[in-house]
Structure 1
Amino acid sequence: MDLTIAALLIGLMLLFLAGGLWIGLALIAVGVMGMLGFTPRSPGDGMAVTIWGSGSAWTLTALPLFLWMGEILFRTKLSEDMFKGLAPWLERLPGRLLHTNIIGCTLFAAVSGSSAATCATIGKIALPELTRRGYPESMALGTLAGAGTLGLLIPPSIIMIVYGVSADVSIAKLFIGGVLPGILLAALFMGWVVIWSLLNPEKIPPADIRTNLAGKLRASRHLIPVVLLIAGVLGSIYTGVATATEAAGIGVVGSLIISAAQRTLNRSNFIAALMGATRLYCMIALILAGSAFLTLAMGYIGLPRHLAAWIGTLGLSPGMLLVVLGIFYVVLGCFLDGISMVVLTMAVLLPTIQAAGIDPLWFGIFIVVVVEMAQITPPVGFNLFVLQGLTGRQITTIARYAMPYFMLMALAVVLLYAFPGLITWLPGKMIG
C-alpha cells in the first residue's frame, strides 16, 4: 500500500511538472492531494503554518544576500581582472591558459554561489581569449563546463543553504566543509589538463611572451579585490566573527565597494542586480515553501518512515547505499535542476541517511558533488545550456567535451568516502 501511495504521488508530481506547473506549486498540490486522500487531517492549517515557518527562517536570510552579491559581481570587471592576474603565472605550466578557466572558476565560485553564474562570467572573458590564441575547443569548453560546477561546491553556495535549511544542518559548517573538496576537485581538473597537455603538446599554442617575476607580481594586483572578498566572507565564518547570514552582508558590502572602485556601480546596474537577485530568490523560496509543506504531508502519511524501513530491509551497507543514491541523483539530474533535486528528496531520504549512520554534514557535501555531476549531463545540464548560449555548439558536443570532468567528479566522490575528514576536518576546527 505504501509503495502504491508513493508511486501515485510521484506520478502526480511528474504529471504536474510535465504540464509546465511551477515546481513550488506542484509540490504544494501534491502535498494537498496526499493529505486529502490518505490522512484524516485538513491541509489548510498545516499549509499556512509550514509555509510561513519555512519563509521566515532566519538562516534563510543568507540566501538573498549571497544571490545579490553574485549579481553585483556578475556586472563588474572581476572576471576580466582575474584573467589578467592569473595568466602570467601559468606560462610554464603544461596547458598554460587552460588553467585560467579552472582557477578563475574556483576564485569566482568563492564569491558567487552559483554554478551558472560562474560558468557564464568566466566563459565570457576566457573563451574569446582562448579561441583567439588557438587553444583546442574541446579543452577550452570542457574545462569551463567542469570547473563551472565549482560554483555549487565552493562556498558561499546557494545549494548548500537550501540543503542546510531542508536538513537542519549548520550552513556555516557546510560552507567550511566544502572548501577542501572544492580545492580537491580543482586540483583533479588541473591534473587532467597537465596530463592531456603532456600527451598532446602540439595542440597547445606557445606562450606569446615570457613575463619576468616583477611583471607577474604587478599583474597579481588584479587579484587583490577577489582575494580580499573571499577572506572577508569565509574568514569571518571560520573565525566565528560572523554567522553565514552576517558574512553574506559582508559580501554584499564588499561587492558594492568593488563595483564602485571599478566604476561599474551605477543606477541601472544596481537595480538590475537587485531585481535579478529578487526574482531568483522568489523562485527558490517558493520551491522551499512547497517542499516544506510536502515534507509535512508525507510525514502525516508516513512515507519517509516506511521507505527508511524498507531500505533497511535491503541490507545495504552505507557504501552501497551511497552508490545507489549517487546513481539516482545523476539520473534525476537529467531532468531537474540541483535545488529542485535537493528539496524534492530530502524529506524522504534524510531519515534513511540518519538510520544508516551517515553524517548529515558529510552527506550534504556528497549531495552537492553529485549534483555538480548532473550539471554537465544532458538534457538538463545547466552548465551545458550556459555554454551553448555562449558558443552556439550542440549540447551533446559540449557534454562529450565535459565527460572527463564528470569522471573526475566521480573519482572525487570515491575519495571523499574513503577520506571523510576532507569534509569534516575544517568544520571541526571552526571557532565558535
Structure 2
Amino acid sequence: MSDPLIALVLLGVMLLCLGAGLWVAISLGAVAFVAMTAFSNAPSGLVLATTFWGHSHSWALTALPLFILMGEILLRSRLSQDMFSGLAPWLTRAPGRLLHVNVFGCAIFAAVSGSSAATAATIGRMSVPELTKRGYPESLIIGTLAGSATLGLLIPPSIILIVYGVATEQSIGRLFIAGILPGLMLISLFAGYVGLRAWMNPDLIPEEVRQFSFREKLSASKNLIPVALLIIGVIGSIYTGLASPTDAAALGVVLSVILAWASGSFSIKLFGEALMSATRTSCMIAFILLGAAYLSVAMGFTGLPRNLAEWIGGMGLSVTALLVALTLFFIVLGCFLDGISVVVLTTSIIMPMISAVGIDPLWFGIYLVIVVEMSQITPPVGFNLFVIQSMTKFDILKIAMAAFPFFLLLLLGVALISIFPGIVTVLPELMSN
C-alpha cells in the first residue's frame, strides 16, 4: 500500500475515533495499534508495554503537574483582585483606559500560571463585572479577555512549551527563554489595538471619574508585590541557572501557597480542591502524552514520517510555502482539538518535515504555540470561549466574534516571527553565549 493511502487510512481511523467521542489519548493509541498491526511486522502489544513504561517517568515532565498546581492555587486566591487594584490607577489616562487591565493582567498572570484557561478565569472573574459596571463596551471587554488570555500558552512558565519540549526533546529552559520576546510582542500588539480603537472612536470608552495622584499610584502598586515576587522566584531562578524548570515549579507551588495563605483568602479546603483539579488535569495530559508516544513509535515502524518528509523535500516547497500550509492545517485542527492535543498529535509527523527544510526546532516550538493560541479563541472547541461563556452567559458566537480581531493579531504575530526569526532566537543565543 502506498504511503499516501496509508496516511489516509490512519487519518480515517483517527477521525472515526474522535467522532465517536473517544478520549484523545485512546484515539491516539487506537491509530498507533492499527498502524503497528496493519502496516508493520513489529509486535504491537510488546511495543505498547515498553513505550508506556519508558515514557511514564520523565524528570522534565515533573514540572508539568507542579505548574498546574501552582495555577490552581492562584486561581482560588485574591490575586486577581489585587492585580486589578494595583494596575487600574496607572491606566486611567491611557488610550482605552481600564481595558488594558485585561491585557496586562493576563500577561502578568500568564507568567505565574502557564495556563490559558486559568488566566481567562482568574482575570475575567474580577475584570468582567468591574468593567461592565463602569460602562465599557461588552465586545471589547470579552474580546480583550479572550485574546489576552491566550498569552498563558506562551509566556513562561508555559505548560504547552513543556509538552512540546518533552515530545521533541528540546530544552525546556531554552524554550521558556525563547518565549519572552514573542510574548512581549503580542502584549504590544494587543495593547496597541485597544489604544487604536479608543483613538478612532473615543465615545466607546467611558470617562474615569476619579484621577489618582502619583503617590496614590505608588501606594496601589503594593498590591502587585506578591505576584512580582512569585514571578521573580519562579522565572528568575530558571533564567539565572539557579534551578531547573522542575525545581522552579516546586518553588512556585511553595510560594503560591504562602502568598495565597497570607492574603487571607485561602484554606485547607481550597487547597484540597486545587490539588484534586491539578491531579485530574495532569493525569489527562499524561495519558495523552503516553498515547502520542505510542503513536510516534508506531509511525517510526511504518516509516511514514520519513517517507512523507522525503516526499515534501522532493516537492521543492520553500520554507514560506510550508509554513503557510502548516498554519492553515493547525488552524483547522485547532477548531476541533485543544492545544495540547494538537501538539502531541502532530509532532511525530511534522518534525521530520521541519528538519528536512532546515527550520530550527526551537523557533518552530514558539511558532506552533502562537498558532495553537488561535485555537483557544476559535469555535467550536475554543477553551477560552467556554471559560468566558461560563462567566458571562453570552452566546459562544458573540464571544468568538469579539475575539476575532485578536485572532488576526495572533496571525500577524506569526507573520512577524517568520519575517524576523530573531524575535525568537536572539535571547536563547545570548543566554548560551
TM-score over 0.5 (shorter chain): yes
Structure 2 CA distance, aligned partners of 1:174 and 1:431?
12
| Structure 2 letter corresponding to 1:104 | G
Which residue does 1:179 correspond to in 2? Answer: 180
Structure 2 CA distance, aligned partners of 1:106 and 1:336?
24
Structure 2 CA distance, aligned partners of 1:426 and 1:251?
23
- Of the structure 1 ranges 127-136 and 264-273, higher mean CA displacement relative to structure 2 is found in 264-273
Alpha-carbon offset, residue 114 of structure 1: 0.6
Unaligned segments of structure 2, at least 5 residues:
none
Alpha-carbon offset, residue 403 of structure 1: 1.2
Alpha-carbon offset, residue 428 of structure 1: 2.0
Indicate yes or no: 2:214 matched with 1:213. yes
Structure 1 CA distance, aligned partners of 2:379 and 2:21?
19
In the superposition, the TM-score normalised over structure 1's length comes to 0.98
Q: Which residues of 2 match residues 298-377 of structure 1 at below 5 A? A: 298-377=299-378
Structure 2 CA distance, aligned partners of 1:53 and 1:237?
27
Which residue does 2:89 correspond to in 1? Answer: 88
Which residue does 1:42 correspond to in 2? Answer: 43
Alpha-carbon offset, residue 389 of structure 1: 1.1
Q: Which residues of 2 match residues 18-417 of structure 1 at below 5 A? A: 18-417=19-418
| Structure 1 letter corresponding to 2:22 | L
| Structure 2 letter corresponding to 1:72 | I
SS class of match (1:206):
coil
| Structure 1 letter corresponding to 2:326 | L
Which residue does 1:426 correspond to in 2? Answer: 427
Structure 1 CA distance, aligned partners of 2:234 and 2:432?
15
Alpha-carbon offset, residue 431 of structure 1: 6.3
Q: Are the equivalent residues in 2 in contact too, given 1:238–1:431 (CA < 8 A)?
A: no
- Of the structure 1 ranges 343-352 and 398-407, higher mean CA displacement relative to structure 2 is found in 398-407
Residues paired across the two proteins, number: 432
Structure 1 CA distance, aligned partners of 2:324 and 2:147?
21
Alpha-carbon offset, residue 152 of structure 1: 0.3
Q: Are the equivalent residues in 2 in contact too, given 1:240–1:430 (CA < 8 A)?
A: no
Deviations 1:195-245 (A, max 9, x none): 100111112111120100000000000000111111111111111111111
Alpha-carbon offset, residue 53 of structure 1: 1.8
| Structure 2 letter corresponding to 1:75 | R
| Structure 2 letter corresponding to 1:191 | G
Alpha-carbon offset, residue 430 of structure 1: 2.6
Structure 1 CA distance, aligned partners of 2:106 and 2:56?
31
In the superposition, the TM-score normalised over structure 2's length comes to 0.98
Structure 1 CA distance, aligned partners of 2:42 and 2:432?
45
CA RMSD in angstroms, aligned pairs only: 1.0
| Structure 1 letter corresponding to 2:76 | R
Structure 2 CA distance, aligned partners of 1:293 and 1:57?
15
Deviations 1:96-140 (A, max 9, x none): 000000000000000111101101110010000000000001111
| Structure 2 letter corresponding to 1:140 | I
Unaligned segments of structure 1, at least 5 residues:
none
Alpha-carbon offset, residue 265 of structure 1: 3.0
Alpha-carbon offset, residue 414 of structure 1: 1.1
Structure 2 CA distance, aligned partners of 1:250 and 1:429?
26
Structure 2 CA distance, aligned partners of 1:18 and 1:129?
40
* Dislocated runs of 4+, deviation >3 Å: none
Structure 2 CA distance, aligned partners of 1:77 and 1:382?
23
- Of the structure 1 ranges 38-47 and 81-90, higher mean CA displacement relative to structure 2 is found in 38-47
Q: Are the equivalent residues in 2 in contact too, given 1:160–1:171 (CA < 8 A)?
A: yes
Structure 2 CA distance, aligned partners of 1:65 and 1:208?
43
